[in-house]
Amino acid sequence: MSERWEAAAFKNRVDDVLHDFVAREAEQLAAVDGALDPVAEQLEAAVTEGKRLRAAFCYWGWRAAGQPDSEALLRAAASIELVHAAAVVHDDLIDDSPLRHGRPTAHIALRDAVPRNPRAGAAARSLAMLVGNLLMSLAGQLFATSGLPAAYLARARPLWSVLARELIAGECLEILRTGADPDTTASLKVIRYKTAKYTVEQPLLIGGALAGAGERLRAGYSAFGLPLGEAFQLRDDLLGLFGDPDRTGKDNADDLRGHRPTALLAETWRTADGEERERLRALLGRRELDADGLEAVRALMRRLKAPGRIEVMIAVRVEEALSALHAMNAPAHATAALSALAQAAAVRLS
């Protein structure tokens, strides 16, 4: 592979690994019984789309430590995308989200598999939960069979426990905070643990551990990865409400109907007066929130300049991340690639 970072080519390589690996696993699952075909289809659907940023950060955690391009490393990096796929299935289930990438989410699609079940909705949710669980298990299998030396894998294996613990902590915090009065500090903590760490920091650290990176470089990965991961999710929150659904593949009202503790909502709440807060309370959490209600929330957010403050938060975090990156003294090609990835994570339309 060229030293020049080619994001599309890398994504294609990761897609090939994921699609081939999961297709084989789905085939073996369906071979148990024909009734499992819809479940196997959702297993494959879970890896159809994706930016592959987590695999990319793992890859450059390896390369920045001086290691060469490696097909075995690519497989190890791709395994983190299976963690993400599992998290997405579970997150959609927890949030009862109807769409992902413009298609029905797993727990919605699987209703067709249980038409005669008297509790079809609950049964479909149970099936989706099991799809997510299997994806998480497959992540460990792909990592362990990546082809990297056992000694390399042993260096990184403890980080998988950290990744899982922090991801679950973030999901739990979001659930526990949902419905409470919005608070920016609390929202940023949810962001850090639910998304930032497993999107950027932990993939970098896993790649670095596989490569035998030293303590100073690993500290640099955290200094770069944490603020960038937070910027990534802050951008996601803005896109979730103000983005184009045809690009994001999600319902704009999803976060509001779920009364999720986003920083965008928290910043709106922080600067709202008593009357504005009462108006927000009347709108938030409504499952039947219509287009007029959605636009009323957007208008209030714009009036209070909350989206602009989130943009400032994103810019500050990207600048912090890039400063940490340049202080790492990583090879020039790695620095260039990580800089490009930083822009891709924080400046995007989907």
DSSP string, 214-271: -HHHHHHHHHHHHHHHHHHHHHHHHHHHHS-HHHH-S-TTHHHHTT---HHHHHHHHH
Comparing CA positions, the residue from 217, 221, 191, 216 lying closest to residue 203 is 221
**Residue 250 placed within a domain:** yes
Distance, CA of 27 to CA of 149 (rounded, Å): 28
Amino acid 101: pLDDT: 86
**Residue 2 placed within a domain:** no
**Residue 1 placed within a domain:** no
Return per-residue pLDDT of the chain as tens, 350 residues: 557 889 999 999 999 999 999 999 999 999 999 999 999 999 999 999 999 999 999 999 999 999 999 999 999 999 999 999 999 999 999 988 888 888 999 999 999 999 999 999 999 999 999 999 999 999 999 999 999 999 999 999 999 999 999 999 999 999 999 888 899 999 999 999 999 999 999 999 999 999 999 999 999 999 999 999 999 999 999 999 999 988 888 878 888 887 889 999 999 999 999 999 999 988 886 767 888 999 999 999 999 999 999 999 999 999 999 999 999 999 999 999 999 999 999 998 88
**Residue 194 placed within a domain:** yes
CATH number, position 80: 1.10.600.10
Q: For residue 122, what are its two tokens?
A: 């609950």
**Residue 184 placed within a domain:** yes
Q: Please give the biggest Cα pair distance in the chain.
A: 62
The whole domain housing 50 covers 7-346
Q: Cα 99 from chain centroid? A: 15
Q: For residue 42, what are its two tokens?
A: 């959702």
Distance, CA of 64 to CA of 331 (rounded, Å): 6
Q: What sign does the CA torsion over 82, 83, 84, 85 have?
A: positive
Comparing CA positions, the residue from 294, 183, 189, 178 lying closest to residue 233 is 189
Q: What sign does the CA torsion over 8, 201, 269, 310 have?
A: negative
Please name every residue paired with 104 in a beta bridge, in sequence order, or none if there are none: 99
Amino acid 285: pLDDT: 65
Residue 4: phi and psi, rounded to 5, are -75, 130
Amino acid 286: pLDDT: 72
**Residue 336 placed within a domain:** yes
- How many structural domains does the chain have? 1
Strand runs labelled E in the chain: 99-100, 103-104
Amino acid 254: pLDDT: 81
Distance, CA of 207 to CA of 334 (rounded, Å): 13
Is residue 288 within 8 Å of 298, Cβ to Cβ? no
**Residue 335 placed within a domain:** yes
**Residue 240 placed within a domain:** yes
305 membership: H or E segment, kind and range = none
Amino acid 234: pLDDT: 97
Distance, CA of 38 to CA of 26 (rounded, Å): 10
